[in-house]
Amino acid sequence: MSIYREIEQTDKVFGRVRKVSSGLFSTGFECTDFFLDQNEIKSNISGWVANKQDTSNTTEYLMPSFDDFGNTLNYVEENVVFEGESSGTLGENKKKWDQVSFGDYYVNVYNEPTYVDGLPNDNSTSQFSISYGNKNGYGSLNSDLSTSVTKAVYNQYKNILLGPGDSSWTFALDSNTNAFKDRDSIYVINFSSSQLKEKFDPGNLEFRLTITHNDITVSETFRDDSRFVTSSTRNTSTGKVYQIVTGSIVDEMSDEKRYAVGSGEGSGESFGFAYPDLGILVLNPFALSCHFGSKIEEELISRGESEEASQKNNAGRQLSWYGKEDPSILNTGDEVGSLDLQYGTERNHQNFLKLFRAIKLGGSFKARSTEFVPSKHYFIRVKNTDFNYSNNPSFVYSGKEATQIHEEGSGPNRDYWVGRLRHEDFIDDPKSYITTVGLYNENNELVAVAKCSVPILKSFDTETLIKVKLDF
């Protein structure tokens, strides 16, 4: 009875590669819950001191607490100081910012809270990160002591995604197929490498953004246009590049879905680009703001609130507001920090929190990841004379059973029964069941185990072929 059988060279097939697609997120194809780590978004300028509301002249040092969108819950604009400096407003004290952390450059988005009841949550995994970049450094706290964070982000992704001659992201206009608009501001969504594997699957990307204004809520669904183009927009060192358009993955395509609808800044501009090979989305803040602002404006007009609808600083514009008009006017006393709260943020930095809020309120992000898996195939041929007998101890009588039989006087002596087949029929017509295939190297060391989906009956009357596939 053979225990091992050598696999012939003709039964080995190497060099096969197969495409494997699966849900990109820890929850599968769709992610519906989005969380921040408060420790990550707490930057140097998020720490502040508020005066106590009592008759004493003492000061209470407060750590910021955040809501689900990254806004501080205990923010008091009129009584803010930094690191023990004299009392003043946020706008007065922002000049004192002289340190940055990674939480000023980007924010990680998790599928579950990072902490539960004060303890780390092992099931919380980063799904993607969000960044905001500005070519001029707008949206940063700029001074002689600080760093142009948004400028660094913009240049980083410019170097990664654009060609050598491109200094800005260029978004198409719907008025003329040959017309384009250079934009100095971008949002970037970068999928986590552990979730992405090799790339996200074009045509299976969909996300919803939601903006609120008082009691008005407007939403829009976005996807890539890979299903409707014969070739990508560009095919450079970054791989294929597709346009971000409106609609779900099951909708039909039309040309108007490619561009922002509305009037004013960002009107008629494309929404952004998808880089599936790199797992990156680049969004146009002005196109998004115009599109949502137009929806809010339509609702306000339908309510007879035309005056409010005509104002530029409605909630639809918040996604394109970078917090500071021009870093060069920082020390002139003309800062525009008073407008920060009107545009949905209490800070004129960490603008990526605006996009995070829109994603969280949208409540749906769908994507599939793709990886190409090298495989080896082994064809295990079990001939009619092979492996009909089992090495399982239950197949034969044990020494203890043989002793018991001998003592009972059932036939010959004990040695006759030891190792004898338990069922007489198995002497001439044995049967076994194949459940597992072990692959061994030349030193008879077990290196791989394959399990059959169902036990395979084996006898002298049957032969079987088992294909074992190893993925790497």
Q: d(Cα 62, Cα 385) in Å, to the nearest integer?
A: 81
* pTM greater than the 0.85 cutoff: no
Q: Greater confidence, 116 or 325?
A: 116
Shared domain check, 434 and 424: no
Counting residues of the chain whose pLDDT is more than 90, the rounded percentage is 34
- Contact (Cβ atoms closer than 8 angstroms) between residue 448 and residue 351: no
Kindly indicate the confidence band of residue 470, based on its pLDDT and cuts at 50, 70 and 90. Answer: confident
pLDDT of residue 210: 93
pLDDT of residue 446: 92
Longest CA pairwise span in the chain (Å): 112
Shared domain check, 53 and 43: yes
Shared domain check, 107 and 146: yes
Shared domain check, 315 and 215: yes
* Model confidence pLDDT, tens digit, residues 38-88: 888 876 554 444 444 545 555 555 566 777 887 766 555 544 444 444 444
pLDDT of residue 314 exceeding 60: no
Shared domain check, 423 and 438: no
Q: 125-139, 232-246, 302-316, 376-390 — which is least confidently predicted?
A: 302-316
Average pLDDT, the chain: 79
Q: d(Cα 96, Cα 43) in Å, to the nearest integer?
A: 13
Q: 22-26, 145-149, 388-392 — which is least confidently predicted?
A: 145-149
* Model confidence pLDDT, tens digit, residues 434-452: 999 999 988 889 999 999 9
Shared domain check, 339 and 260: yes
Q: d(Cα 184, Cα 39) in Å, to the nearest integer?
A: 30
Q: What is the torsion angle, in degrees rounded to the nearest 10, for the CA atoms of residue 432, residue 433, residue 434 and residue 436?
A: -120
Shared domain check, 299 and 444: no
* Model confidence pLDDT, tens digit, residues 363-415: 999 999 988 888 888 999 999 888 877 767 667 777 777 777 766 666 667 66
pLDDT of residue 344 exceeding 50: no
Kindly indicate the confidence band of residue 356, based on its pLDDT and cuts at 50, 70 and 90. Answer: very high
Shared domain check, 8 and 38: no
From 332, 366, 400, give the residue that closes a domain.
366
Shared domain check, 348 and 418: no
Q: Greater confidence, 10 or 19?
A: 10
Shared domain check, 348 and 407: no
Q: d(Cα 34, Cα 46) in Å, to the nearest integer?
A: 22
Task: Kindly provide the b/e burial profile for residues 398-434, where b requires at least 16 CB atoms within 10 angstroms of the residue's own CB.
Answer: eeeebeebbeeeeeeeeeebbeeeeeeebeeebbbeb
The domain in which residue 441 lies consists of 1-18+374-389+430-472
pLDDT of residue 139: 78
Count of structural domains within the chain: 3
Shared domain check, 172 and 47: yes
Kindly indicate the confidence band of residue 32, based on its pLDDT and cuts at 50, 70 and 90. Answer: very high
Shared domain check, 232 and 129: yes
pLDDT of residue 177: 62
